[in-house]
Chain A
Amino acid sequence: MKKVLMGNHAASWGVQLSRVKMISAYPITPQTHIVEELSEMCGDGSLDARFLKVESEHSAMASVIASQATGVRSFTASSSNGLALMHELLHWAAGARLPIVMVNVNRALAPGWNIWADQGDSLSQRDTGWIQIYVEDNQEVLDSVIQGYRIAESVDLPVMICYDAFFLSHTYEPVDIPSYDEVDAWLPPYTPTNHLDPEKPKSFYPLVMPDNYMEIKYKFQQAHEQAIGVIDEVGQSFGTSFDRYYGVVEAVQCEDADIILVTSGTITSPARLVLEEMRQKGEKVGLLKMRTFRPFPVKAVQQALNGAKKAIVVDRNCSWGKGGIFADEIKSAMSNTTDAPMIYSYIAGLGGRSITPDDIRGLIEEAIESDSPSSESVWKGLKL
């Protein structure tokens, strides 16, 4: 069934089709439609789930951790300051190895108050142990929520699906909605490895002494390493069933490219346009869409970028005192490789400022002319 959906409703549909049993959330712009739609679905019985209307995001995450620990598929959604308030529990969810899926609508963090697109909220949760997937369009929102549960439950790690405020959350696009039967055939019911069970009383997440702590954390890191392959496998398997293929990254015409644009989120779409146009003119340009940020797909990035002369990374985020976060991670992934391109780091579009095909064209032209990149990230479109 095809419907014209806003990104937020595509997320709600993904949750419904995944037969989530527990939802707990707190409203924040631009996430609100997700939970409003889910309330409707729970209310009219089209989704058989308990919806806890908690009093904060901190409690939202605490309660989905608890419900997931009883053995039921659980979901929450947030954004910006709400995600920041969850921080303590994000560590808890991941350290507890609970396959929760959440949506984060990427929005700038205050101050000043700004409700528009910016990846600073989720990227500053980098080290919490969540898998982070950045999506480009509304179809991918729906598909990624469903894939999220399959990925999460394969490696016992939580998954955060991230997409840009307003550019996706409030924008209507045609979305193909699979049927329950199709999704049921692809996403098996959740069978937890461990759950809170009075028949088998166990202590969950207790005090761990130095003697055991490192081993537990080593397995946690191993799960992340394993997740890279799992995300690719799940994306392929999804494609086999639904004819839409996904992976940790998407490399577009990178094989012979001299210059490769590296993007994430909605910036990818104008980049595709520019790429097509440049290719028609005979410029050897490629595009690397970073779909996964954690675990960081080091090998896939190396494979896509090695051999190119220049890579241009566009970041709608900034690690204060360092620079563009994707650029920084890509530089680290490319270190110690022999055939790495020069890496140009640009910061653009913070707080919802738009990034147009013209802007992207400008970046490419600048890179073509330059002999070597600046060691700092370059801010684009500043009106100083």
Chain B
Amino acid sequence: MRKEFAHDELMMPGHLACQGCGGTIIMKHALRAVGPDAVCVIPACCWTIISGNFPYSALNVPVLHTAFATSGAAASGVRAGLDMQGKHDTKVLAFAGDGGTFDIGIQSLSGAAERNEDIIYICYDNEAYMNTGVQRSSATPERAWTTTTPVTHPKSGAKKNMIQILAGHKVPYCATANIAFPDDLYRKVRNAAEIKGTCFIHVLSPCPSGWKIPSEKAIEVSRLATHSKVFPIYEVYHGEEYKITMEPDEIPVSDYLKSQGRFRHLKEEDMDFIQERVDYEWKILLQRSMMEPFHMNF
């Protein structure tokens, strides 16, 4: 079946991504959904490299490269500048890694979200600082290997829940998405483009070299993340109305964990622990999705 896209391809050949890079696939779908009347804001991350070095650009939209911590603020500044020229329809797309979103950039993202700036913020989450060589971030999953969480003391503590943080800002739209379900990803970005205010989309982004998986397995591994409920796919409207948009097959988390070298050191009891955690989080999500949103009652 040929898929109908709203817009032509805006990501050009010649980009500098590694084979199997999830971040590249996310950008491709995102730009087809947002369209050419857009400005893309990119902080320091793998996409600094992927987009091409001076004087080249792999994207057919204008790109503002900005400092690591500033995606939320820079996107707000672009929005303000465009609005002052009457260009209210031009979309502003911030495209940042997990480090630039969960860690160093969380303050400026929170500022933008609290002001409800009319921007789309996509976090491509490869669960570590990949650009600088696979160091842990607060998005790194519990007990995973990275170069700063070696197998002798792997990542401790749960992955930060960014959607919950953004939902806490009561932004009009938050969602998670996965490149293994491109129709869903595409629809969510389209949705965000239609909504006025801050829209935040958190997309799992497999990184073959950082996750230690073969590049041709990137999409397969991503699919396992959602079907094992490790990375559930859902939406949150106004911080209150939760909608699960992909029914997981509920496969064991060990199927997901065993597919990647970064979890190779895990023992049975580690996997049992992770299974417990995943089941618990899933229960919370199910409960939330069954709650009546506040704004519908009042």
Interface residues of A, Cβ cutoff 8 Å to B: 21-22, 24, 49-50, 52-56, 58-60, 62-72, 74, 88-89, 92, 196-198, 200-209, 212
Contact = CB atoms under 8 A, between A and B. Distances in A.
Contact of B84 (A22, A55, A69, A200): A22
Contact of B80 (A52, A92, A197): A52
B242 to A, nearest CB: 27
B61 A198 contact: yes
A114 to B, nearest CB: 26
A66 B115 contact: no
Nearest to B54: A208
Contacts of A201: 36, 57, 59-63
A31 B74 CA distance: 23
Contact of B39 (A22, A92, A198, A208): A198
B156 interface: no
B6 to A, nearest CB: 15
B52 interface: yes
Contacts of A197: 62
23 contacts: A22-B81, A24-B76, A24-B80, A58-B69, A58-B70, A58-B108, A62-B67, A62-B73, A63-B74, A66-B66, A66-B76, A66-B81, A67-B77, A70-B77, A70-B78, A70-B82, A72-B80, A198-B36, A198-B37, A201-B36, A204-B62, A204-B63, A206-B57
Contacts of B55: 212
Contacts of A69: 64, 77-78, 81
Interface string B132-172: 00000000000000000000000000000000000000000
A54 B111 contact: yes
Contacts of A50: 80, 83-84
B52 A70 contact: no
B60 A59 contact: no
- Looking at A24, A60, A205, the one whose CB has the most chain B CB atoms below 10 A away is A205
Given A70-B85, A198-B38, A206 B52 contact: yes
B14 to A, nearest CB: 13
Contact of B73 (A59, A200, A204, A209): A59
Contacts of B62: 196-198, 200-204
Nearest to A50: B80
Interface residues of B, number: 45
A190 to B, nearest CB: 11
A271 B57 CA distance: 55
Contacts of B38: 198
B230 interface: no
Given A74-B81, A212-B55, 10 more contacts: A22-B84, A53-B115, A59-B107, A66-B77, A72-B81, A89-B67, A92-B66, A196-B64, A204-B64, A206-B54
Closest 9 CB pairs of A and B: A66-B77, A70-B81, A63-B77, A59-B73, A55-B111, A67-B81, A62-B70, A203-B57, A62-B73
B72 interface: yes
B49 interface: yes
Nearest to B43: A62
A62 to B, nearest CB: 4
A116 to B, nearest CB: 29
Contact of B54 (A49, A56, A200, A207): A207
Contacts of B61: 198, 201
A77 B77 CA distance: 16
A52 B77 contact: yes
B53 A55 contact: no
Contacts of A65: 66, 74, 77
Contact of A55 (B63, B74, B77, B108): B108
Contacts of A205: 64-66
Contacts of A58: 69-70, 73, 107-108
Majority SS at the chain A contact face: mixed
Contacts of B56: 203
Contacts of B63: 201-204, 206
B110 interface: yes
Contacts of A54: 73, 76, 108, 111
- Looking at B80, B90, B107, the one whose CB has the most chain A CB atoms below 10 A away is B80
B114 interface: yes
- Looking at B51, B55, B61, B74, the one whose CB has the most chain A CB atoms below 10 A away is B74
B75 interface: yes
Nearest to B65: A205
Contact of A24 (B49, B72, B77, B84): B77
A56 B107 contact: yes
Nearest to A23: B80
B48 A55 contact: no
A84 to B, nearest CB: 15
Contacts of B54: 203, 206-209, 212
B65 A203 contact: yes
Contacts of B59: 201, 203
Contacts of A204: 62-65
A52 B66 CA distance: 18
B224 interface: no
A59 B39 contact: no
B107 to A, nearest CB: 6
Contacts of A74: 77, 81
A59 B82 contact: no
A66 B38 CA distance: 14
B84 A66 contact: no
- Looking at A66, A88, A207, the one whose CB has the most chain B CB atoms below 10 A away is A66
Nearest to A66: B77
